[in-house]
């Protein structure tokens, strides 16, 4: 099903335009919309930025698209002024910091970012704040426009019937799963071994060996190991809490004591710190599960699975009694999506890790897998059995089985039409003046922009 194209107001194009504007360009005006102004420099340098980052649309097409989005954005901002909708700086501070930190990280350093934009950090921060304020204002105006929008079941059905039947999407098979998870027994012994390895590495570094070389050779964070253990500039909130506490307490080139995080054990070296950002390198060692530990866990899970199969204990009771998976055990082992925004229990195979995928795809409803080793959501080694409690086969979307999906698509289309009608009426009652060099844009001729 083609989802209706939602109007992308104040999208990332505007952020690029706001932060890339050069002081060297003449600040001539491309358009005036109510009390709002679009500067030629914003428009042209947004085009340049998009071309630089790989957009291959013809320049004139790109110019038309960007100019149209900017004009529509200004309509919403002008309406916000009329409705006295404001966004305070306090509501933006956190997001501004995140965007600035991300820009520094991508540039490689604060100096590189300043050099790229030919602006100081105060100006860069100001432009990002302005763009974020515009985005939030537009969202609030749109929310007000659509605040009374509703969709009835009959409306969802009409929407479904309006879709070409040969273009309806195939909804993948979904499963409801229950698990019982065991952590490796006697894991403290394995943790002690991991700590000992890191103590040895730390001693070698203190004695003069190169941290980066040891990280490349031994770190089990394979991605950062390629860069000598370096993970780049990150904020405290982007790091594991224990890792962050250790990293922010270091001075340049010092090496931390052993740090235990949700991912394993680390030694950390501070490379650089800039305000709320730290750039560190680390060596990660995860506790290993030996054959004896694995066999004990597998044997215990096998016994539990056999008890359930013989109906000596219910699966949900066994999960409550034995499972170490905190998120599911109190719900009888029911596995839900780790995404906090959804928390749904119907899962597609593609949402599972490879070990779970292999076990689930061959199970029938009511069957329990053989015990297997896998990793949990934090990449720690665990052992599991899984039961398929329900299955919904792959199928073409229909109102009965996929009402929520169709409801959201129908609402999206209805909002889009409402915005388009609002924009049309707003153009008619708003003062708009287009610069001479842009009056030839095709959309201006058809949309009532020229007055």
Which CATH number belongs to the domain containing residue 281 in this structure? 3.10.50.40
pLDDT interval class at 44 (50, 70, 90): confident
pLDDT interval class at 67 (50, 70, 90): very high
Distance CA 232, CA 109 (A): 10
Question: Residue 104, exposed/middle/buried by CB under 10 A (0-12, 13-18, 19+)?
Answer: buried
Same-domain check for residues 268 and 296: no
Same-domain check for residues 178 and 322: yes
Residue 158 neighbours by CB under 8 Å, 6+ apart: none
Question: Residue 49, exposed/middle/buried by CB under 10 A (0-12, 13-18, 19+)?
Answer: middle
Q: Is residue 340 part of a domain?
A: yes
β partners of residue 76 = none
Please state, as a whole number, how many other Cβ atoms lie within 10 Å of the Cβ of residue 354. 9
Total structural domains in the chain? 3
Strand pairing report for 170-171 and 395-396: antiparallel
Same-domain check for residues 25 and 145: yes
Distance CA 282, CA 267 (A): 6
Are the CB atoms for 181 and 383 separated by under 8 Å?
yes
- pLDDT, average across residues 337-341: 69
Q: What is the pLDDT of residues 393-442, one digit of tens each?
A: 999 999 999 998 899 999 999 999 999 999 999 999 999 999 988 888 88
Domain span holding position 192: 187-285
Token code pair at residue 214: 């040891």
Q: Is residue 66 part of a domain?
A: yes
Same-domain check for residues 91 and 111: yes
Q: Is residue 273 part of a domain?
A: yes
Same-domain check for residues 179 and 324: yes
- Which of 103-112, 181-190, 384-393 has the weakest average pLDDT? 103-112
β partners of residue 33 = 36, 432
Q: What is the pLDDT of residue 192?
A: 92
- pLDDT, average across residues 238-265: 92
Reported pTM: 0.65
Q: Which helix (H) or strand (E) holds 403?
A: helix 403-429
Mean pLDDT, the chain, as a whole number? 88
CATH number of the domain bearing residue 23: 1.10.4030.10
Q: Is residue 5 part of a domain?
A: no
Q: DSSP secondary structure string, 231-268?
A: EEEEEGGGS-HHHHHHHHH--TT-B---EEETTEEEEE
Distance CA 30, CA 172 (A): 48
Q: What is the pLDDT of residue 199?
A: 96
Same-domain check for residues 140 and 87: yes
* 23 pLDDT more than 70: no
Q: What is the pLDDT of residues 278-290, one digit of tens each?
A: 889 999 999 888 8
* 338 pLDDT more than 80: no
Token code pair at residue 262: 């949700």
Q: Is residue 169 part of a domain?
A: no
Q: What is the pLDDT of residue 27?
A: 56
Same-domain check for residues 213 and 270: yes
pLDDT interval class at 186 (50, 70, 90): confident
- Which of 153-162, 230-239, 320-329 has the weakest average pLDDT? 230-239
Are the CB atoms for 267 and 283 separated by under 8 Å?
yes
Please state, as a whole number, how many other Cβ atoms lie within 10 Å of the Cβ of residue 323. 25
Q: What is the pLDDT of residues 191-242, one digit of tens each?
A: 899 999 999 999 999 999 999 999 999 999 988 999 899 998 888 888 999 9
pLDDT interval class at 342 (50, 70, 90): low
Q: Is residue 103 part of a domain?
A: yes
Query: How many Å is the maximal CA-CA distance in the chain?
Result: 83
pLDDT interval class at 341 (50, 70, 90): low
Q: Which of these, 248, 240, 267, lies nearest to 256 by C-alpha position?
A: 267
In percent, the amount of the chain with pLDDT more than 90 equals 59
CA atoms within 13 A of residue 359's CA, in its CB half-sphere: 22
> Of 285, 311, 331, which marks where a domain is finished?
285
- pLDDT, average across residues 30-38: 94
Q: What is the pLDDT of residue 441?
A: 82
Same-domain check for residues 130 and 234: no
Q: Is residue 198 part of a domain?
A: yes
pLDDT interval class at 313 (50, 70, 90): very high
Q: Is residue 420 part of a domain?
A: yes
């Amino acid at each position: 099903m083609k989802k209706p194209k939602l109007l992308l107001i104040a999208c990332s194009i505007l952020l690029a335009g706001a932060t890339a504007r050069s002081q060297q360009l003449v600040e001539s005006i491309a358009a005036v919309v109510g009390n709002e102004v679009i500067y030629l420099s914003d428009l042209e340098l947004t085009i340049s930025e998009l071309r630089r980052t790989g957009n291959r649309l013809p320049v004139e097409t790109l110019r038309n698209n960007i100019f149209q989005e900017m004009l529509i954005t200004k309509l919403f901002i002008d309406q916000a002024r009329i409705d006295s909708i404001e966004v305070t700086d306090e509501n933006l501070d956190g997001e501004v910091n995140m965007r600035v930190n991300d820009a520094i990280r991508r540039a490689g350093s604060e100096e590189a970012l300043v050099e790229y934009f030919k602006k100081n950090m105060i100006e860069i921060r100001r432009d990002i704040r302005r763009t974020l304020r515009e985005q939030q204002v537009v969202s609030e105006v749109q929310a007000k426009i659509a605040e009374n929008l509703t969709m009835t079941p009959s409306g969802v059905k009409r929407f479904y019937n309006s879709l070409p039947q040969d273009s309806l999407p195939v909804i993948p098979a979904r499963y409801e799963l229950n698990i019982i998870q065991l952590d490796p027994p006697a894991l403290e012994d394995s943790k002690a071994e991991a700590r000992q390895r890191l103590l040895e590495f730390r001693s070698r570094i203190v004695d003069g060996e190169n941290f980066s070389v040891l990280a490349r050779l031994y770190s089990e964070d394979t991605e950062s190991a390629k860069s000598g253990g370096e993970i780049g500039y990150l904020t405290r909130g982007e790091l594991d809490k224990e890792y962050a506490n250790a990293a922010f307490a270091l001075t340049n080139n010092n090496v931390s004591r052993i740090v235990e995080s949700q991912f394993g054990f680390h030694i950390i070296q501070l490379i650089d710190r800039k305000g709320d950002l730290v750039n560190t390198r680390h060596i990660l060692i995860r506790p290993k599960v030996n054959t004896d530990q694995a066999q004990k866990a597998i044997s215990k899970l096998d016994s539990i699975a056999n008890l359930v199969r013989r109906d000596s204990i219910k699966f949900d009771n066994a999960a409550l009694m034995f499972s170490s998976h905190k998120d599911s055990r109190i719900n009888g082992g029911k596995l839900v999506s780790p995404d906090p925004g959804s928390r749904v229990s119907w899962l597609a195979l593609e949402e599972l890790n490879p070990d779970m995928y292999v076990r689930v795809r061959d199970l029938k409803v009511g069957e329990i897998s053989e015990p297997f080793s896998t990793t949990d959501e934090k990449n720690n080694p665990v052992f599991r059995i899984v039961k398929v409690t329900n299955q919904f086969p792959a199928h073409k979307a229909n109102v009965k089985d996929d009402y929520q999906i169709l409801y959201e698509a129908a609402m999206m289309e209805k909002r889009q039409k409402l915005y388009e009608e609002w924009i049309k009426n707003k153009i008619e009652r708003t003062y708009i003046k287009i610069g001479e060099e842009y009056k030839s844009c095709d959309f201006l001729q058809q949309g009532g922009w020229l007055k």
